[in-house]
């Protein structure tokens, strides 16, 4: 008996720790008292008593059942004065729980349950465009995206974007479920000077690779001079943002129209795009000139380069270059081939 009382005391204490659970407990008690009380005083079925109690507590008042005895009417007063208040508290508690959940999500405090997702470490003015590009490609448009940044709340609140608050470290990467991710992007911190900015990107890349060495990681740096140091991190791609911008600006005056052409190719939101695809099995052992002709004639795809099994890129390769099952193609197409 003592053990049972101790167990019940523990349950009530745990209920009292959470406002919603406590309100639900009181709601169920009022519901049971009303149902049994009505059935007792009015000599009715328990089901009728349950229906009457719910109707009374919700202030609907259909009038199909109502108490006629003194005891039933006293019970009705009790249900009306307490049950309606408890039901209102229950609705308010549910709303509060939903709001709290949303606030935790916005502030990066919610535990994530994602997989096969992209992780963006840091945030700058390019972040929104990066997410929009990912969401525009049919290969990745259904993927979740997790932002890890030391911001007060998520910088981009849309359905498939999640937020983890804090600096990039082992704990925040674990919260972002880095072990389940398929790729990671490290963005440059625009609030720092160039050298400090790149140092932070390199440190972030090292942290990512230390936790998940096999995760494909693309790192943005601001200065070409820091390229070699960044290679030490083991990053799979290193993007020198300043160099790319400079090259496009020069091309805009040397060969007018080229920057617009490049912008179209690197955007998933309009025009033709650049894609990497596997070589069709019908083309194994064929020369590049045959492959170029076959893709253009049959699929309206322009092949502009190849990537071999070692990851070496061949832009506009020789016509007699023979491709194998290990080679991939770099193509220009209106949309990603199936």
Q: At 331, is the secondary structure helix, strand, or coil?
A: strand
Residue 216 φ/ψ, nearest 5 degrees? -65, 120
Q: Is the residue at 150 inside a domain?
A: yes
Residue of 174, 178, 175 lying closest to 213 (CA atoms): 178
In a domain, 153, yes or no: yes
Number of structural domains in the chain:
3
Report if residue 298 sits inside a domain.
Answer: yes
Q: Mark whether 237 and 137 lie in a shared domain.
A: yes
Residues 148 and 209 grouped into a single domain: yes
Provide the domain limits for residue 144: 118-245
Pull the structure tokens for residue 123: 């945030």
Last residue of one domain, picked from the residues 106, 136, 171 = 106
pLDDT tens column, 131-168: 999 998 888 888 999 999 998 888 998 989 999 998 99
Which tokens in the block code for residue 260? 């617009």
Domain finish residue from 245, 260, 291: 245
CATH number at residue 306: 3.30.70.1450
Domain termination site, one of 210, 227, 245: 245
pLDDT over 80 (residue 63): no
What are the strands of the beta sheet with 145-149, ordered from one edge?
A: 161-165, 145-149, 118-121, 183-186, 217-221, 237-240
Asked if the structure places residue 157 within a domain, the reply is: yes
Under DSSP, is residue 319 helix (H, G, I), strand (E, B) or coil? coil
Same domain? 143 vs 185 = yes
Cross-strand pairs, 328:
278, 307
- Asked if pLDDT for residue 10 goes beyond 70, the answer is no
Q: Place 1 in a pLDDT band, splitting at 50, 70 and 90.
A: very low
Question: Could you tell me if residue 260 is inside a domain?
Answer: no
pLDDT in tens, 203-217: 999 999 999 999 999
- The answer to whether residues 128 and 156 touch, using CB atoms and an 8 Å cutoff, is yes
Instruction: Quote the pTM value.
Output: 0.67
**C-alpha to C-alpha distances, 158 to 109, 145, 148, nearest whole angstrom:** 17, 10, 15
What is the CA 184 to chain-centroid distance, rounded? 13
In whole angstroms, what is the distance from residue 37 CA to residue 65 CA? 14
3-state secondary structure (DSSP) of residue 2: helix
* DSSP bridge pairs for 314: 306
Which pLDDT value is given to residue 6? 60
What string of DSSP letters covers 155-190? SS--TTEEEEES-SSHHHHHHTTGGG-SEEEE---T
């Amino acid at each position: 008996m003592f053990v049972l009382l101790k167990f019940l005391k523990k349950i009530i204490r745990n209920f009292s720790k959470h406002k919603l659970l406590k309100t639900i407990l009181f709601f169920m008690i009022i519901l049971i008292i009303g149902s049994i009380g009505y059935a007792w005083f009015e000599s009715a079925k328990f089901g009728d008593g349950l229906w009457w109690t719910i109707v009374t507590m919700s202030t609907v008042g259909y009038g199909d059942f109502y108490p006629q005895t003194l005891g039933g009417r006293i019970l009705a007063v009790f249900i009306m004065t307490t049950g309606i208040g408890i039901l209102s508290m229950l609705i308010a508690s549910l709303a509060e729980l939903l709001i709290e959940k949303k606030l935790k999500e916005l502030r990066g405090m919610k535990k994530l349950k994602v997989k096969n997702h992209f992780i963006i470490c840091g945030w700058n003015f390019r972040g929104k465009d990066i997410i929009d590009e990912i969401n525009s490609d049919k290969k990745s448009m259904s993927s979740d995206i997790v932002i890890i940044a030391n911001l007060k709340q998520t910088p981009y609140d849309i359905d498939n974007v999640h937020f983890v608050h804090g600096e990039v470290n082992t704990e925040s990467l674990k919260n972002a479920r880095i072990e389940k991710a398929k790729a990671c992007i490290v963005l440059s911190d625009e609030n720092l000077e160039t050298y400090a900015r790149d140092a932070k990107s390199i440190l972030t890349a090292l942290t990512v690779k230390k936790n998940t060495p096999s995760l494909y990681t693309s790192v943005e740096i601001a200065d070409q001079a820091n390229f070699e140091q960044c290679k030490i991190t083991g990053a799979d791609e290193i993007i020198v943002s300043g160099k790319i911008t400079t090259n496009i600006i020069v091309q805009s005056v040397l060969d007018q129209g080229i920057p617009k052409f490049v912008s179209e190719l690197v955007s998933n939101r309009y025009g033709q795009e650049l894609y990497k695809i596997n070589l069709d099995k019908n083309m194994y052992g064929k020369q590049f000139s045959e492959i170029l002709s076959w893709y253009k004639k049959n699929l309206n795809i322009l092949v502009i380069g190849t990537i071999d099994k070692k990851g070496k890129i061949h832009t506009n390769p020789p016509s007699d270059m023979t491709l194998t099952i290990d080679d991939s193609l770099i193509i220009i197409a209106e949309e990603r081939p199936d």
